[in-house]
Amino acid sequence: MSSAAAFSYAPLLPTGPDTTEYRLVTDEGVDVVNGPGGRRFLTVEPTALTALTAEAMHDIAHYLRPAHLAQLRSIIDDPAASPNDRFVALDLLRNANIAAGGVLPMCQDTGTAIVMGKRGRHVLTDGTDAEAISRGVYQAYTRLNLRYSQLAPLTMWDERNTGSNLPAQVELYAEDPDGHPDAYKFLFMAKGGGSANKSYLYQETKALLNPTRMMQFLEEKLRLIGTSACPPYHLAIVIGGTSAEYALKTAKYASAKYLDALPTEGSMTAHGFRDLELEAQVLELTRNFGIGAQFGGRYFCHDVRVVRLPRHGASCPVAIAVSCSADRQAVAKITPSGVWLERLETDPARFLPDVTDETLETEEVVRVDLNRPMDEIRAELSKYPVKTRLSLTGPLVVARDIAHAKIAERLDAGEPMPQYLRDHAVYYAGPAKTPEGYASGSFGPTTAGRMDAYVEKFQAAGGSQVMLAKGNRSAQVTRSCQQHGGFYLGSIGGPAARLAQDCIKHVEVLEYPELGMEAVWKIEVEDFPAFIVVDDKGNDFFAEVTKPVLTVGRR
């Protein structure tokens, strides 16, 4: 064997200088005390950690970063964007404006709370940091109009909602953040199921590490992300990693822009770096998919981050992650000067364009009256091709995973399809808490694919003839719709607050009230936006745009 290289050290992810604009949350609960050897220590009370966490979880449920909002506005201003791209971007900006009022969260899936912290060696706490942070999560989710999504496993098969959105994922590291021993720095995230489910790990080999094969691989895998996680996305790709789990974690950080200041070149110290050239090429690749901002166009992604990590010679993990339209994260710090949180945008209205809706609506919008019999609704939808934009008014039945499972059990037992699923279109959704004075809480669509296994059974029994949700469906759904004369309508993923404020006029429980947000609801909607995605003739908009068609080499 050759002689060993000289010792050298670099952090795997050298994050660079912090250029974040912060706002002061409080200066209480922190103090500086003298220690041995002339050292000064920052003391942090549990109450400071709790207050910071509660404030952070509030802000990321209601506010977005200015850069994200500017990217939405740029879609509206881009003449190359499709009308559907611009329509989605405008709806998401309107949603941000409503959420910023602090009542309705921007998304009904208010996520798993994820907190990562780095505590300097001169920061003293009482050792209950994770508990204090969890208490802040609890305060935010129980006091605000947020949804509880965490399930406690009671047995291997039985679960129950914890009723508080705990537990949170809390990871704390003993490390001087940015070289400051008297600082405690954090990344707060709220990760909904839609975007979390679009985290992928592939175990590849050295054969992937050439320009042509890499782009072919990425074209194939990125199309599979689909739209169920609410694009336009902030896309992160990590090539390599000292372990599979480290690659995945790095992809999550990169999707949150946490690693933007990484070096842009590698070295023999084997630190991670960003490949800016490949980022630009992958972004252009996604522009050509045709998927766009959910219903056709260029804006499948806002931007791309590609991070190259060191790897074991026998392993080449590839991790892919996205941050969705609910781009919910913020950094924070505790220093001798107080408790600080990233300043998010509280006035998103300044990003709204000075144009009327008609300026953006260059395609016909078909208005569908849901008060008519189901056969008449289907006959009307049958007149139009996939990708047609609709405006729905009238009653919808709301049912998702658990309700579908219960209805399937009834069908298996020989009971008839509930009449409400025969008479009405079904919306896959689950609301957040309803604020006082509102008909509903934030009430956006959930991922349609989770209900795919029920469609043929339900349609054969006369139900679910018109379905409304977000994201693409499987081929079995297209076949069932063709056989039974059904339709799948895509709703815009992301603008849950706008739907609650502007479109949903009445909500009542029809069945299974004990299931909480998973109950069967009946809602009245007005001018609810949707698109025909799967029709009764066997056409599926996403079937074409998810097929690899390009062979791209890297120059």
User: Class for domain 362-534, per CATH?
Assistant: alpha beta
pLDDT tens for each residue of 421-448: 999 999 999 889 999 999 999 988 888 9
Q: How many CA atoms lie within 13 A of 189 on its CB side?
A: 26
Diameter of the chain measured on Cα atoms = 83
pLDDT at 302: 97
pLDDT band at 554, cuts 50/70/90? very low
DSSP state, residue 203: E
CA 54 to chain centre: 20
Number of helices and strands in the chain (H, E)? 16, 23
Please say if the pLDDT value at position 224 is more than 50: yes
pLDDT at 306: 98
pLDDT at 544: 67
For residue 217, what are the CA distances in angstroms to 243, 249, 287?
Answer: 20, 21, 16
Contact 448, 471 (CB under 8 A): yes
How large a percentage of the chain has pLDDT more than 70? 96
pLDDT tens for each residue of 456-508: 999 999 999 999 998 889 999 999 999 999 999 998 888 889 999 999 999 99
Q: Residue 202 phi/psi, 5° resolution?
A: -125, 130
**Which candidate, 170, 229, 219, 152, places its Cα nearest to that of 197?**
229
Buried b (16+ CB within 10 A) or exposed e, 208-234: eeeeeebbbbbbeebbebbbbbbbbbb
DSSP state, residue 208: G
pLDDT at 3: 82
E strand or H helix that includes residue 339: strand 338-342
Q: How many CB atoms lie within 10 A of CB 152?
A: 12
Average pLDDT of 338-360? 82
pLDDT at 309: 98
User: How far apart are alpha carbons 223 and 200 in whole angstroms?
Assistant: 12
pLDDT band at 66, cuts 50/70/90? very high
Average pLDDT of 521-541? 94
CA 288, 294, 295, 299: dihedral to nearest 10 degrees?
-40
CA 416, 428, 141, 323: dihedral to nearest 10 degrees?
150
Please say if the pLDDT value at position 200 is more than 70: yes
Average pLDDT of 159-164? 94
Name which residue leads in pLDDT, 261 or 361.
261
- Write a three-state SS string for 56-93: HHHHHHHCECHHHHHHHHHHHHCCCCCHHHHHHHHHHH
pLDDT at 359: 47
Contact 378, 523 (CB under 8 A): no
pLDDT at 412: 96
Q: How many CB atoms lie within 10 A of CB 157?
A: 6
pLDDT at 492: 85
CA 67 to chain centre: 17
pLDDT at 541: 86
- Write a three-state SS string for 378-412: HHHHCCCCCCCEEEEEEEEEECCHHHHHHHHHHHH
pLDDT band at 159, cuts 50/70/90? very high
- Please state the domain extents for the chain: 11-190+326-355, 193-325, 362-534
Q: Look over the chain and give the mean of its residue pLDDT values, rounded to a whole number.
A: 93
Please say if the pLDDT value at position 99 is more than 60: yes
Contact 239, 318 (CB under 8 A): yes
Q: Which residue has the tokens 């936006």?
A: 529
pLDDT band at 548, cuts 50/70/90? low
Average pLDDT of 57-68? 97
Average pLDDT of 170-183? 95
Please say if the pLDDT value at position 363 is more than 70: no
pLDDT band at 2, cuts 50/70/90? low
Contact 77, 116 (CB under 8 A): no
Q: Which residue has the tokens 């060696």?
A: 121
Q: Which residue has the tokens 């509030």?
A: 58
Average pLDDT of 59-81? 97
pLDDT at 37: 86
pLDDT at 542: 83
Three-class SS state of 210: coil
Q: How many CA atoms lie within 13 A of 192 on its CB side?
A: 31
pLDDT band at 192, cuts 50/70/90? very high
Q: Residue 497 phi/psi, 5° resolution?
A: -70, -40
Contact 84, 91 (CB under 8 A): no
Please say if the pLDDT value at position 550 is more than 60: no
User: How far apart are alpha carbons 263 and 275 in whole angstroms?
Assistant: 9
E strand or H helix that includes residue 453: helix 452-460
pLDDT at 202: 98
Contact 293, 231 (CB under 8 A): yes
pLDDT at 354: 76
Lowest-pLDDT choice from 214-218, 227-231, 264-268: 227-231
Contact 83, 292 (CB under 8 A): no
Rg (C-alpha) for the chain, rounded Å, is 25
User: How far apart are alpha carbons 228 and 492 in whole angstroms?
Assistant: 10
Buried b (16+ CB within 10 A) or exposed e, 288-320: ebbbbbbbbbbbbbbbbbbbbbebeeebbbbbb
Lowest-pLDDT choice from 146-155, 308-317, 350-359: 350-359
Average pLDDT of 255-268? 97
